[in-house]
C-alpha cells in the first residue's frame, strides 16, 4: 500500500509541476480533470475517474456544465468533488465578468455580446437576465429575472418595469440562454419580446434587444445594436450569422401586456 501511495504521490507532484511550469497547455482533457480532482479526493488514484467523467458527459466543458445531482451519480464522485466542479464553473464566470476594469460603458456590440455569453458559463438550466442602462449606455446593473428548467423560464412584464424603475434605467437588454441547441429565437421568444418592447415604450423605457446565448454563440432577435457579425475580443464568444434567421412579422406581436415570458418549449 505504501508503495502505491508513493507512486501516486510522485505522479501527482509531477502533474502539479507541469501545471506550474506551463499552465494547462499540453494537458489532455482528462489530465486537467484529474489535476482538479486531487483537491477533492486527496488519497485515491483519480485517473480512471477523470476518464469516466469525460465519457459520461462527453467533453471537458460538459463536466463543469453538468448538474450537481448528475455529477453525484457518477461512481467515485462525492459531495466535495461535485461542489468543486460547480465552484470552478461559477468562479470562471465571475472572473470573466470582472476581468480587469469592468467596462461599464457598453457602446459596442462586442461588449454586450461578450458580457451576455459570459453570464452563462457553467449554466445547465435556462436563465433570464436584464441589463439596465442609463441614456448613455452606461451599465447600471444586471439582474437575474428568472431561472427554470433546461428549457423553461417565466416572468411577467411588470417585473422588468419594476427593475428598470428601481435603477432609473433608460433602456434595457434582455439576455437568456439555450443550455442545449442553437441560439435561435422561438415563437414564444419573439412574441414576448415584441410585447415587452411595447409595454416598456409606454412607460418611457427602450428595449434595445433580446440576446439569446448558446455555448459560445449569441444571437439577437431584433438585430439593431447587435445585428452585425463579429468575433469577440479576448474570447471565443461570437455572433453566428449563419444560423437560420427568424422573420419578425406583425402576427408575432403579442396582444395582452400581462403575458408572461414562458421560455422555450423546444429550444
Can you read off the three cell numbers belonging to residue 43?
488519497
| Strand segments (E) across the chain | 127-133, 139-147, 171-177, 206-214, 217-220, 238-239
- pLDDT of 4 reads 55
Handedness of CA 159, 161, 165, 167 (dihedral sign): positive
- Residue 105 sits in the same domain as residue 86: no
Phi/psi of residue 227, nearest 5 degrees: -80, -10
Separation of alpha carbons 66 and 22, rounded Å:
27
Separation of alpha carbons 46 and 34, rounded Å:
6
What CATH number is attached to the domain comprising 236? 3.40.140.10
- pLDDT of 133 reads 93
- pLDDT of 182 reads 82
- Residue 106 sits in the same domain as residue 225: yes
User: Looking at the domain assignment, is residue 259 inside a domain?
Assistant: no
- pLDDT of 151 reads 55
- pLDDT of 92 reads 81
Can you read off the three cell numbers belonging to residue 92?
470562471
Mean pLDDT by 10 residues, the chain (267 residues): 59 93 91 95 92 94 90 96 92 70 69 84 85 91 80 78 94 89 83 91 93 85 52 36 33 30 46
The residue written with cell numbers 423605457 in the block is 205
- pLDDT of 238 reads 47
- pLDDT of 168 reads 94
- Supply the range of the domain harboring residue 240: 98-252
- pLDDT of 189 reads 85
Give yes or no for a contact between 152 and 125, defined as CB atoms under 8 angstroms apart: no
Q: Which of 35, 60, 90 is the last residue of a domain?
A: 90
- pLDDT of 184 reads 85
Separation of alpha carbons 200 and 213, rounded Å:
23
Terminal-residue alpha carbon distance, the chain: 51
User: Looking at the domain assignment, is residue 263 inside a domain?
Assistant: no
- Residue 110 sits in the same domain as residue 218: yes
Q: Which of 40, 55, 90 is the last residue of a domain?
A: 90
**What is the strand order of the sheet 171-177 is part of?**
139-147, 127-133, 171-177, 206-214, 217-220, 238-239
Longest dimension (CA), the chain: 75
- Residue 60 sits in the same domain as residue 103: no
Separation of alpha carbons 77 and 256, rounded Å:
48
- Residue 105 sits in the same domain as residue 53: no
CA distances from residue 221 to 52, 78, 115, 119, 132 in whole angstroms, order as listed: 39, 41, 17, 18, 18
Count of domains forming the chain: 2
Q: For residue 226, give the nearest of 169, 164, 174, 155 by alpha carbon.
A: 174
- Residue 120 sits in the same domain as residue 18: no
Q: Which of 72, 90, 108 is the last residue of a domain?
A: 90
- Residue 35 sits in the same domain as residue 165: no
- pLDDT of 18 reads 93
- Residue 8 sits in the same domain as residue 76: yes
What CATH number is attached to the domain comprising 56? 1.10.150.20
- pLDDT of 147 reads 84
Strand 217-220 to strand 238-239: parallel, antiparallel, or no bridges (unpaired)? parallel
Cα 108 to chain center, whole Å?
20
Amino acid at each position: 500500500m505504501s508503495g502505491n501511495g508513493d507512486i501516486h504521490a510522485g505522479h501527482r507532484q509531477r502533474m502539479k509541476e507541469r501545471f506550474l511550469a506551463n499552465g494547462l497547455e499540453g494537458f489532455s482533457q482528462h489530465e486537467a480533470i484529474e489535476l482538479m480532482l486531487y483537491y477533492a479526493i486527496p488519497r485515491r488514484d483519480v485517473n480512471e475517474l477523470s476518464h469516466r467523467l469525460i465519457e459520461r458527459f462527453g467533453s471537458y466543458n460538459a463536466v463543469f456544465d453538468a448538474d450537481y445531482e448528475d455529477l453525484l451519480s457518477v461512481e467515485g464522485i462525492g459531495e466535495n468533488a461535485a461542489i468543486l466542479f460547480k465552484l470552478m464553473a461559477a468562479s470562471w464566470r465571475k472572473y470573466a465578468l470582472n476581468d480587469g476594469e469592468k467596462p461599464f460603458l457598453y457602446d459596442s456590440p462586442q461588449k454586450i455580446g461578450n458580457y451576455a455569453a459570459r453570464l452563462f458559463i457553467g449554466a445547465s438550466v435556462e436563465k433570464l437576465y436584464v441589463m439596465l442602462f442609463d441614456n448613455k449606455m452606461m451599465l447600471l446593473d444586471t439582474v437575474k429575472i428568472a431561472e427554470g428548467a433546461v428549457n423553461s423560464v417565466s416572468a411577467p412584464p411588470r417585473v422588468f418595469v419594476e427593475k428598470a424603475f428601481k435603477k432609473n434605467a433608460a433602456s434595457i437588454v434582455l439576455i437568456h440562454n439555450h443550455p442545449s441547441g442553437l441560439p435561435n429565437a422561438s415563437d414564444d421568444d419573439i412574441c414576448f419580446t415584441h410585447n415587452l418592447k411595447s409595454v416598456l415604450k409606454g412607460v418611457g423605457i427602450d428595449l434595445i434587444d433580446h440576446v439569446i446565448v448558446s455555448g459560445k454563440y449569441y444571437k439577437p432577435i431584433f438585430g439593431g445594436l447587435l445585428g452585425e457579425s463579429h468575433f469577440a475580443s479576448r474570447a471565443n464568444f461570437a455572433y453566428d450569422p449563419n444560423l437560420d434567421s427568424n422573420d419578425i412579422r406583425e402576427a408575432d406581436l403579442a396582444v395582452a401586456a400581462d403575458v408572461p415570458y414562458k421560455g422555450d418549449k423546444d429550444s
